[in-house]
Amino acid sequence: MSEVALLGNPNTGKTSLFNRLTRSYETVGNWSGVTVEKKVGVLRGRGGRIVDLPGLYSLLPLTEDEGVAARFLMEESPASILNIVDASQLERNLYLTIQLLECGRPMLIGLNMVDVARSRNITVNAALLQQELGVPVVSIVARKGTGCADVLQALRGLAQSKESSFRIDYGPVIESGVTRISERLSRAIAASSAHIRWTALQLLEGNEAVRSSLSESDVLDDLDGLIAETSQQLRLAGEESDVPAYLRKIRTERITQICAVALDRSAQRIHTATERIDAVLTHRLIGIPLFLALMFLIFKLTFDWLGSLLSDQLDGLISGTLSGWISSALDGLGASAFTHALVVDGMVGGVGGVLVFLPQICILFLLISFIEDSGYMARITLLMDRTMEAVGLSGKAFIPFIIGFGCNVPAIMAARTMEQRKDRLLTTLLVPLMSCSARLPVYALFAGVFFASDQALVVMGLYLMGMVLALALAKLFSRTLMKSEPSLFVVELPPYRMPQLLSLLRMTWEKVKGFLRKAGTIILAGSVIIWFLSNTGSSGFGVDMNDSFLASIGGALSGILVPIGFGTWQAGAALITGFMAKEVVVSTMNIIYQVPDMAGLEHQVAMAFTPLQAFSFIAFILLYIPCLATVGVIRKETSSWRWTFFSMGYSLVLAYAVAIVIYQGGRLIGLT
Ligand SMILES: Nc1nc2c(ncn2[C@@H]2O[C@H](COP(=O)(O)OP(=O)(O)OP(=O)(O)O)[C@@H](O)[C@H]2O)c(=O)[nH]1
Ligand SMILES: [Mg+2]
């Protein structure tokens, strides 16, 4: 099947178009670096496959995610290219377009964001652009779906079409160098003449990815000689810049010519709305307080105003109606007492106990999606840059941190967008300190019982604690464990966009779906295991829970938990099982305390903990160990067991230290 590669600058709407063309729902967001992995989809109407890729500014990859796109182009040789170009930033987007054209594949240009361009009085003449570039250009508004049918239509004939006639003349010195390099190359690799010319140009420009793709043949030595020769001749010809800079200069000149023909910016309006909003939101003094206020508002909505209200209703539905219905259905089927207990106490108790917090999770996800899609995300990194820089991190690390509030797994993958290995590693190690939504049920339960009047404040305190500790540890780790590399910080500030309700709801649903899937798999499995362990002991099934295996497992831990305030086997067991997924902490408590509903659980929890112990417990849950899925992705992204174990180890030590300070410190000043 023919394969189309979606390539273009970051944040130009590639994924938006991909979703339209394939009926997928991959994440889109208004900042650069949303997509960090390749995603394959099937074109609507039997058209072959299309691959969505991370954005890139040029074919010389700077970051891990750009590398994914550049390598895909070189190694997997897609049959054709769909290049997305942002019409409101044509000049800058064309730089990549030119390199893609030189690559000599059949190519289609999707001229996206024409609505944005129009609103700013920027006119791009698609027909003239098509003439200049020699490949078809289709105007689209990917977000609304306008023009997507034309893209599908144009893609159909594309793979068979001849390659573009586009060609830049780089002047006699470079051209003769390219000819000689091409001759040598064509003896070593089999490729079309356009592709050979492109390879020669990329080598002259110093593209490491192209170089390493040739490392297996023995041409590199010869080529290096030719490259050095060309560079010397360019100098002799009186050119001041080196070869890569010279190539860039020629390309930029060509872009200027193209734009003189196809682009009209004479009536352009500068983006005043965005600038006016930014004057406030990214203000040096009030920017950060505004961000904190927004966070507080989010927690107020999630916990105090809406979430708990809805979650009480849902609890009534699950533990009352649904549970009763399942119970009588089981009775009707003549199920044994064993099955009855397994289903009602184990499964419904364990999974239902977590599901009641669905409303809080939905609201939080909706609000995070709003931040992602509005353009505010990039501003937060700008605001935090100085603080981040001070602790040895790149400002860009704040994006993974915020994504981490939803789930740590995609957050760690988002670290790929950072240029320096040190920044990526530090971010990967610290993201687990960001309080993800899986920890939310635990907070909601405990804050509801012990800190009912200031839930939002307590929960926000926990989130901030995670962030402050992450910054402190960044300082510590970057001083002690890592070679110092100066961080690069280049952030694109996209224009603000009013998120569309439908796409917000869809983004939220995608995240909620992940949570529901988890409830149906790992939380369900965990609940069944916990139920068995809590009912089985050395003398067999049906023992008193205090003699169960679960009690022995949890009890083994309780000794070391005494100094931090919760030295019970129940707490120990909840912590161990919570490693599977943090929600399982709540499932475990539901099963252990054998409660009929949330009110029952709240009562039991109120008996088992004092407020000080409860706070120590939730702080411990926030910090203690990344969940199984997060550990998996840390291993994958760092390719190192050492760093993976380090991240588990340091978080355990940190959690213990913080909990001791809270509990013992609290007791010293007379709290209970
Ligand atoms: N106004 C307008 N907005 C668009 C259009 N296409 C996409 N967007 C918005 O632009 C932002 C970026 O869209 P994405 O599809 O995530 O862009 P991308 O190219 O995949 O970005 P990366 O994965 O970061 O490279 C989102 O906020 C979209 O809603 C369009 O045609 N018009
Ligand atoms: Mg994308």
Q: Is the CB of 113 under 6 A from ligand 1?
A: yes
pLDDT at 129: 96
CA 31 to ligand 1 centroid distance, Å: 8
pLDDT at 636: 94
Beta bridge partners of 52: 6, 39
Q: Which two tokens stand for residue 532?
A: 């068995």
Rounded to an integer, the average pLDDT of 447-461 is 89
Q: Which two tokens stand for residue 94?
A: 């064309």
Q: Which atom of ligand 1 lies nearest, measured to the CA of 116? A: 1
Q: Do 318 and 356 contact (CB within 8 A), yes or no? A: yes
Best residue among 6, 9, 11 to mutate for probing ligand 1's pocket (most ligand atoms within 8 Å of CB) is 11
1 has pLDDT over 60: no
Contacts of 342 by beta carbon, 8 Å cutoff, 6+ apart: 528, 531
Three-class secondary structure of residue 566 per DSSP: coil
Q: What is the pLDDT of residues 36-75, one digit of tens each?
A: 999 999 988 777 899 999 999 988 888 888 888 888 888 8
Q: Is the CB of 373 under 6 A from ligand 1?
A: yes
DSSP assignment, residue 672?
-
- Closest CA to ligand 1's atom 14: 13
Beta bridge partners of 51: 5, 40
Instruction: State percent of the chain over pLDDT 90.
Output: 56
23 has pLDDT over 90: no
Q: Is the CB of 295 under 6 A from ligand 1?
A: no
Q: Do 8 and 55 contact (CB within 8 A), yes or no? A: yes
Q: Which two tokens stand for residue 345?
A: 């106490």
Q: How confident is the model at residue 393 (pLDDT cuts 50, 70, 90)?
A: confident
Contacts of 271 by beta carbon, 8 Å cutoff, 6+ apart: 120, 495
Give, in degrees to the nearest 5, the angle at Cα 365 between 359 and 370: 130
Q: Which atom of ligand 1 lies nearest, measured to the CA of 35? A: 23
C-alpha atoms less than 13 angstroms from C-alpha of 188 in its C-beta half-sphere: 19
CA 640 to ligand 2 centroid distance, Å: 28
What gap in Å lies between CA 153 and CA 174, rounded to an integer?
39
- Closest CA to ligand 1's atom 16: 28
- Closest CA to ligand 1's atom 10: 13
488 has pLDDT over 70: no
231 has pLDDT over 90: yes
pLDDT at 471: 95
Best residue among 7, 16, 63 to mutate for probing ligand 1's pocket (most ligand atoms within 8 Å of CB) is 16
Which H/E stretch holds residue 263? Answer: strand 263-264
Rounded to an integer, the average pLDDT of 171-187 is 93
What gap in Å lies between CA 406 and CA 413, rounded to an integer?
13
Q: Is the CB of 371 under 6 A from ligand 1?
A: no
pLDDT at 489: 63
Q: What is the pLDDT of residues 564-592, one digit of tens each?
A: 999 999 999 999 999 999 999 999 998 99
Scanning the structure block, which residue is given the tokens 């023992």?
543
Q: Which atom of ligand 1 lies nearest, measured to the CA of 503? A: 29
413 has pLDDT over 90: yes
Rounded to an integer, the average pLDDT of 362-384 is 90
Q: Do 526 and 627 contact (CB within 8 A), yes or no? A: no
Amino acid identity, position 610: T
Amino acid identity, position 153: Q
pLDDT at 595: 80
Q: How confident is the model at residue 400 (pLDDT cuts 50, 70, 90)?
A: very high
Q: Which atom of ligand 1 lies nearest, measured to the CA of 36? A: 23
- Closest CA to ligand 1's atom 9: 13
Query: Which ligand approaches the C-alpha of residue 21 most closely?
Result: 1
Q: Which two tokens stand for residue 482?
A: 């890592």
Three-class secondary structure of residue 361 per DSSP: helix
Q: Do 373 and 402 contact (CB within 8 A), yes or no? A: no
pLDDT at 271: 67
Torsional sign, CA 270, 276, 277, 281 = positive
Q: Is the CB of 651 under 6 A from ligand 1?
A: no
Q: Is the CB of 143 under 6 A from ligand 1?
A: yes
DSSP assignment, residue 129?
H
Rounded to an integer, the average pLDDT of 606-623 is 95
653 has pLDDT over 80: yes
Q: Do 367 and 406 contact (CB within 8 A), yes or no? A: no
Q: Which two tokens stand for residue 343?
A: 């289903």
Best residue among 28, 62, 93, 416 to mutate for probing ligand 1's pocket (most ligand atoms within 8 Å of CB) is 28
What gap in Å lies between CA 130 and CA 125, rounded to an integer?
9
Q: Which atom of ligand 1 lies nearest, measured to the CA of 17? A: 15
What gap in Å lies between CA 33 and CA 10, rounded to an integer?
6
Q: Is the CB of 63 under 6 A from ligand 1?
A: no
Q: Is the CB of 110 under 6 A from ligand 1?
A: no
Q: Do 304 and 452 contact (CB within 8 A), yes or no? A: no
pLDDT at 17: 96
Q: Which two tokens stand for residue 305?
A: 């105003």
Residues with CB under 5 A from ligand 2 (ion): 14-15, 34-35
| Residue of higher predicted confidence among 289 and 271 | 289
pLDDT at 484: 67
Rounded to an integer, the average pLDDT of 143-170 is 86
469 has pLDDT over 80: yes
Q: Which atom of ligand 1 lies nearest, measured to the CA of 10? A: 25
Q: Which two tokens stand for residue 327?
A: 């119970």
DSSP assignment, residue 397?
G
Rounded to an integer, the average pLDDT of 438-444 is 92
Best residue among 51, 143, 377 to mutate for probing ligand 1's pocket (most ligand atoms within 8 Å of CB) is 143
Contacts of 257 by beta carbon, 8 Å cutoff, 6+ apart: none
518 has pLDDT over 80: yes
Rounded to an integer, the average pLDDT of 463-474 is 95
Q: Is the CB of 630 under 6 A from ligand 1?
A: no
Rounded to an integer, the average pLDDT of 515-526 is 91
The secondary structure of 481-538 as a DSSP string is TS---PPP-----PPP----HHHHHHHHHHHHHHHHHHIIIIIHHHHHHHHHHHHEET
pLDDT at 98: 95
Q: Do 196 and 257 contact (CB within 8 A), yes or no? A: no
629 has pLDDT over 70: yes
